[in-house]
Structure 1
């Protein structure tokens, strides 16, 4: 049975350094350059923080463009697809996490004699401490 490879991640598509002359696409809006604009690398700088001078097809030339603001032109469609998959995955994870926190937090606090306020579990010992302080202050 043939094994299918997992789709590439956005970080994988942006991992390799670019060289002068490489054709790239802006993956975010840059000053004077909308997302999706193609261009060519003019100068590559940096060892640990890779940045580039890029001549874009709309006539703009920008310096110090971060590696993560660009993707190779041939990988542009795969990058957009991977970005949408990652966005959907992050939304699902956030929803699952929020539901689990609400369910677990409320059940734990109530079982221990506490309460849940706005989805946040308040332990019983803190409620008792607050009650004692209010009585002490006569409130």
Structure 2
């Protein structure tokens, strides 16, 4: 039930509130779950690297997450997307990173490629949003 409420709130918060969903609770729980998962991922990265340094760990991981979500069909406006799309987006992102390596593009431009993917995804989402 929570997933459907979260999906509905992301789609249209005002309509969700009118339909009887406690949107404050849904949004608060979304931030709590997000913070909890961020904390767990920080602990896992610390275990994996055997060190903790805020300046060197986790940089640009959020960009990869956003790029995977956009590639998977999630709208940056919210309320659209699925877990299957995110899995497909993650696979496509890995294929894209391998393609960057195979094409001989310098690794320093990897973030530029990811930013370009996000930009193209936003433009496609905006175009599709206007047509609907």
Higher helix proportion:
2
Higher strand proportion:
1
Q: TM-score if structure 1 supplies the norm length?
A: 0.28
Q: TM-score if structure 2 supplies the norm length?
A: 0.29
| Higher relative contact order (CA closer than 8 Å, sequence separation 6+) | 2
